A and B are shown apart, each in its own frame.
Chain A
Amino acid sequence: MPEQLLTVLKLCLLALLYLFFLRVLRAVWTEVSPPKAAGAGAPVPAAAPAKASRSPKSRRSGRQGRTRASKRQPASPTRLVTVEPVARAGLEVALGPEITVGRAAGCSMVFDERFVSQVHCRIFLRDGSVFVEDLGSTNGTWVNGARVVGQMPARLGDRVQIGNVVLEVR
């Protein structure tokens, strides 16, 4: 076999190797770049939060009206009541300086649910106000349908959603 031919073949092999890397990088690029308008997937992530935020809000406005009507005076929040899942509905925890919610056994409120992360969020009382903070959960924490970013205040009657778990501040 002539030497020159072997050298050419060797260079072809190296080129092929780097062609493979180009294909790999292209595969990553198509995954991480947002899908184009043609893709059916595009509207889904955008629409999902909008859809989701509408339904809890409308539910809440009706609910809050009722709470106000029955109680009249705005009391300060004292406890967290489980609304969903239905199997655990009514379960209460007194609000304190630190309540952790999650799937891990060490949390103050343990929910072994599909969309709940190990240590999902914390809910704490500071100067008489309730704050919710997401602890890097997979599916996020939502207060009245709005995604929690940083520490978000929650008021009486507000609903905190953790995956498919809904807690109400009372």
Chain B
Amino acid sequence: MTATAPPSPSARTPDLRAIVTRRRTTELGLLVLVAIVVVSAYALASLGRNASLPANIGPFLGVILGLILVAHLVVRRWAGAADPLLLPLVALLNGIGFVFIARLDEQLAALQATWTGVGIAAFVVTLLVVRDIRVLQRYRYTFGLIGVVLLLLPLLPVFGRNINGARIWVAFGPVSFQPGEFAKIALAIFFAGYLVERREVLGVATFKVGPINTPDPRQFGPILAAWAVSLLVVIFERDLGSALLFFLLFVVVLWVATGRAAYLAAGGVLFGLGAVASWAFFSHVQQRVSIWINPWADPQGSGYQIIQGAYALAWGGTTGVGPGLGIVGRIPFDETDFIIAIIGEELGLLGTTAVLVTFLLIAGSGLRIARSAGATFGTLLAVGLTALIAFQAFIIMAGVTRLLPLTGVTLPFISYGGSSLVANYVLIALLLRISDQSVRRSPDPLAAL
């Protein structure tokens, strides 16, 4: 390297070391603050009159905080230059989620603590196994296949389970999980890996259809196939939230890969057509839409859940009635889909805004990671993963607040749910790996922050 523009590796090592120290110190400081917030929320909830918080749930909170410390140490050792904000933000969501689940149902709290353990284990394993994010690019078609297979699993006769009207569960003996949560990560890897090598071709319009120039349609083949399969599967499993999530993932990654806003417009048109068509053909979609437009048509039946959610939010006001002081068990699925309504009831508008801000900051960190990864596979993957988490949070919060028709997806890291928690920890581990790698590989680490 004689005519190098980048400074030599020896010159940048001190910079890198300074970055690692600074970022991990920041992370630890923020994690301590998170622990204080979560513990005081828990203490306050147990002081609340209406809460049923036995003392034996307390240790679980300790276990969760301990596990997050383990995650911090693993990041420090194996991904030292990674973004310092993601882990504290995620820990805050997980901790607050645990407090509210514990306040609703102590048995679920114990399970959620176990799932957090599994999730952190998956996080650690992902960081240890995926040492170079480009390895994932090499297996992009494998991941595409895995994604589709995972989506198909619940349709199998023996293992598939129909729970609450959606066929998205798979049961192996006593353990049941939602493979779709993992499929979204596999498909994000596939989309990113495929588009990073085709973006040149997809960005140039060479093919003429009448007066319109479009890219060569053959280039779209595999990705359209993967997208169509996932959408069809999800629609047949009656999981509309995931269908929307996959569609958004697809459009956003395509847009970022090619830099052409026309894909966003095309995606919008396709979405409109798809929405109208599914409304026309599927009765369960029609039901969702009519509940959305007027939940008061059947306040004791189909509209009950969303009306109670609105009551809870209204009752909370600006600062909420206080942790542990809300009404337990009035909203069906308050520990999964409607947990944001419980947070709204007990911590009010300020509490729900805090949750929203946390997701915004996660999305911001994710996009910053994407930006610093240069124009590579890592960028597209970071954008895809960030889009998954941000849109999933948006879809369910918009559903609860009646901005969109309600579709049951979990609120990442807050809702009760093992598959979702584990998959989202894997997702965060991948984001941290991309972040760490792009800082380490940059010829000028300071500029890559």
Stretch from B103-111, B163-171, B436-444 forming part of the interface with A: B436-444
Quick check: is B301 within 8 A (CB to CB) of the other chain?
no
Quick check: is A95 within 8 A (CB to CB) of the other chain?
no
Stretch from A13-21, A66-74, A124-132 forming part of the interface with B: A13-21
Question: What's the nearest-Cβ distance from chain B to residue A80, in Å?
Answer: 15
Name the residue among A13, A20, A147 with the largest chain B CB count within 10 angstroms.
A13
Which residues of the partner chain A approach B404 to less than 8 Å between Cβ atoms?
none
- The answer to whether B449 and A40 touch across the interface, beta carbons within 8 angstroms, is no
Q: How far is the CA of A45 from the CA of B14 in the complex (A)?
A: 13
Q: How far is the CA of A84 from the CA of B4 in the complex (A)?
A: 10
Number of interface residues of B (CB under 8 A): 62
Question: What's the nearest-Cβ distance from chain B to residue A26, in Å?
Answer: 9
Quick check: is B59 within 8 A (CB to CB) of the other chain?
no
- Write the A102-141 contact mask toward B (1 if CB under 8 angstroms, else 0): 0011100000001101110000000000000001111110
Q: How far is the CA of A20 from the CA of B34 in the complex (A)?
A: 7
| Contact for A16 among B6, B37, B358, B444, CB less than 8 A | B37
Q: How far is the CA of A24 from the CA of B441 in the complex (A)?
A: 25
Question: What's the nearest-Cβ distance from chain A to residue B138, in Å?
Answer: 11
- The answer to whether A11 and B319 touch across the interface, beta carbons within 8 angstroms, is yes
Q: How far is the CA of A115 from the CA of B34 in the complex (A)?
A: 38
- The answer to whether B354 and A17 touch across the interface, beta carbons within 8 angstroms, is yes
- The answer to whether A21 and B374 touch across the interface, beta carbons within 8 angstroms, is no
Which residues of the partner chain A approach B37 to less than 8 Å between Cβ atoms?
13, 16-17, 20
- Write the B300-329 contact mask toward A (1 if CB under 8 angstroms, else 0): 000000000000000000011011010000
Q: How far is the CA of A117 from the CA of B441 in the complex (A)?
A: 11
Quick check: is B270 within 8 A (CB to CB) of the other chain?
no
- The answer to whether A59 and B15 touch across the interface, beta carbons within 8 angstroms, is no
Knowing A10-B322, A27-B84, A139-B442, say if A119 contacts B5 (CB, 8 Å). Answer: no
Quick check: is A37 within 8 A (CB to CB) of the other chain?
no
Which residues of the partner chain A approach B358 to less than 8 Å between Cβ atoms?
21
Q: How far is the CA of A40 from the CA of B17 in the complex (A)?
A: 12
**Residues of chain B at the chain A interface (Cβ within 8 Å):** 1-7, 11-12, 14-15, 18, 26, 29-30, 33-34, 36-37, 40-41, 44, 47-49, 84-85, 88-89, 92, 196-197, 199-200, 319-320, 322-323, 325, 347-348, 350-351, 354, 357-358, 361, 364, 373-377, 438, 441-444, 446-449
30 contacts between A and B (CB under 8 A): A1-B47, A6-B322, A10-B322, A13-B37, A13-B44, A13-B323, A18-B350, A20-B30, A24-B89, A31-B449, A40-B18, A41-B18, A44-B11, A45-B446, A52-B6, A55-B2, A55-B3, A56-B5, A59-B2, A117-B374, A118-B196, A119-B199, A135-B375, A138-B373, A138-B374, A138-B448, A139-B374, A147-B5, A159-B3, A166-B3
